[in-house]
Amino acid sequence: MLHLLALLQGAAGSTVGPGLSVIGGGLAVIGAGIGIGLIGGRMTEAIARQPESYTQIQTAAIILAALVEGVAFFALVIAGFIK
């Protein structure tokens, strides 16, 4: 994986400043925070509408939040590789 990344960076011919990678990582974290907030808000609304399906709604919300966190973590790792 690192060899492919080095090859792609060499082919690009220019480097991205470390500041831009920090901005990209910050945007990923902000986006994940907004996404998880929306998931939590919609979960609360859904449970208020149908309290009997609490466990199904909660399980789906936890899975979605984990997927959002995974994407954010992946974006942070990729932003860390950018030089």
Question: Whole-model pTM?
Answer: 0.71
Q: What is the pLDDT of residue 14?
A: 57
Q: What is the pLDDT of residue 15?
A: 62
2 vs 77: CA distance, rounded Å: 12
Degrees, nearest 5: CA angle 68-74-77: 145
Ordered domains of the chain (ranges, CATH): 17-81 (1.20.20.10)
Phi then psi for 13, rounded to 5 degrees? Answer: 85, -20
Q: What is the pLDDT of residue 44?
A: 96
Question: Which two structure tokens, joined as six digits, stand for 31?
Answer: 């986006």
Q: What is the pLDDT of residue 37?
A: 95
What residue has token string 């789906």? 60
Q: Which residues, given as ranges, of the chain have pLDDT below 70?
A: 1-16, 83
